[in-house]
Amino acid sequence: MAAFFKKIAGAVVRALARLVGIGALLDTTALWAIVFKLTKAGADGANLLQIIYLKYGLNEARNAAQSIITATKSAQPAALMASLEFREGNIEDAQQWVKLTSEKNTEDIESLLIIKLYLSEFFAEYDKKSIIEQILAINYLPMEVTRIALVGKAFAALEDKDLQLAEQTAERILSVEEQAAALIVKAALAIEKKNLQEAEKLLIKAQRKLTPGLFYPLAAGALLCVGHNEMAMEYLCRAGKLDDRLIRSKTQLGDLARSQEFNDYCSRRNKPST
């Protein structure tokens, strides 16, 4: 009975917090703290951490996270902390939040899958393909998560030279939306088929949808997967200053970005290198 009333009270305070939070003019941290205290729900805990992060920064969020994660069975607050750390470029800290959830936080474990997928590019203990399959086996994740997993699957298939699977996966994405990464995969496949005109068309389409900082590394990654190293270097060079996470990643593209060959190539083109 007490749990029921706490749930009702939580819903009322949540509605109030949302109302007060319209336009983000007022600080709703205290209200969300009350909501979480009443419900102990993972989504409310994650929401509270997000608000603390936006209002007071990562350190304050870290301070609050420990007690929130201890108070709930859900993995959602830890998943949020891991993604915030990842966004800030703190890869090891992101992994620590994931590890912290393994024993007690047994609910909403699927919320960790996307961050695990990101971490698979840095740590061998996360098996990228199995994480992708886990994500694609769940039929209630947000569309963005499934989309990222499908893009990962298409790129992995390109890397494995399973061109049919890469094509099928890209087509599956494109049947739903004109997604830039799927267009890039199709462009890489067109290059493989020596259909350069088609590849150029697809790359131009994809380029319109992304910022240069996103487009060039993605295109370079796809070209690298199909073995066009020189073209990949050219695209990666055009990206300008590379994201630190890309340089640190243990992927083919990360290896290329760290290589002397790439630095020399960029220097020759008189472009800023890493």
Q: What is the DSSP letter of 243?
A: P
Confirm or reject binding of residue 150 to another protein (CB under 8 A): yes
- Contact stretch for another protein (CB under 8 A) within 45-53, 89-97, 167-175, 234-242: 167-175
Please state the φ and ψ torsions of residue 74, each to the nearest 5 degrees: -80, 150
**According to the binding rule CB under 8 A, does residue 24 interact with another protein?**
no
- In this chain, which of 3, 71, 176, 247 binds another protein, going by CB under 8 A? 176
How far apart CA 57 and CA 17 sit, in angstroms, is 20
How far does Cα 254 stand from its chain's mean position?
A: 16
**Among 73, 104, 172, 193, which residue interacts with another protein (rule: CB under 8 A)?**
172
Under 8 Å between Cβ of 170 and 199: no
Residue 15 touching another protein (CB under 8 A)? yes
Least spacing, CB of residue 139 vs another protein, in Å: 5
Q: Which one of 1, 2, 25, 143 is in contact with another protein (CB under 8 A)? A: 143
Residues within window 213-252 making contact with another protein, judged by CB under 8 A: none
Task: Name which of 136 and 231 has its Cβ closer to another protein.
Answer: 136
Using alpha carbons, list the distances in angstroms from residue 266 to 231, 255, 257, 263: 12, 15, 10, 5
Q: How far is the CB of 140 from another protein (least distance, A)?
A: 4
Residues in the chain: 274
Stretch that binds another protein, among 67-75, 172-180, 188-196, 247-255 (CB under 8 A): 172-180
- Alpha-carbon distance of 219 to 165, in angstroms, equals 18
What are 74's strand-pairing partners?
107
Task: In angstroms, give the least distance from the CB of 136 to another protein.
Answer: 8
Rule CB under 8 A: choose which of 5, 7, 19, 255 binds another protein: 19
Q: How far is the CB of 182 from another protein (least distance, A)?
A: 12
CA distances (Å), origin 98, targets 53, 92, 205: 18, 10, 37
CA distance 228 to 221: 10
Is 131 in contact with 117 (CB distance < 8 Å)? yes
- Please, are residues 148 and 141 in contact by the beta-carbon 8 Å criterion? no
Quick check: 135 and 113 in contact, CB under 8 A? Answer: yes
Of the two residues 135 and 184, which places its CB atom closer to another protein in the complex?
A: 135
134 binds another protein (CB under 8 A): no
30 counts as binding another protein under rule CB under 8 A: no
If one asks whether residue 142 binds another protein (CB under 8 A), the answer comes out as: yes
Among 51, 113, 141, 225, binds another protein (CB under 8 A): 141
Region class of 136: left (phi > 0), else alpha (psi between -120 and 50), else beta: alpha
Q: At what angle do helices 196-209 and 212-225 cross, to 10 degrees?
A: 150
Total interface residues for another protein by CB under 8 A: 20
258 binds another protein (CB under 8 A): no
Residues in contact with another protein by CB under 8 A are: 11, 15, 18-19, 22, 139-143, 146-147, 150, 172-178
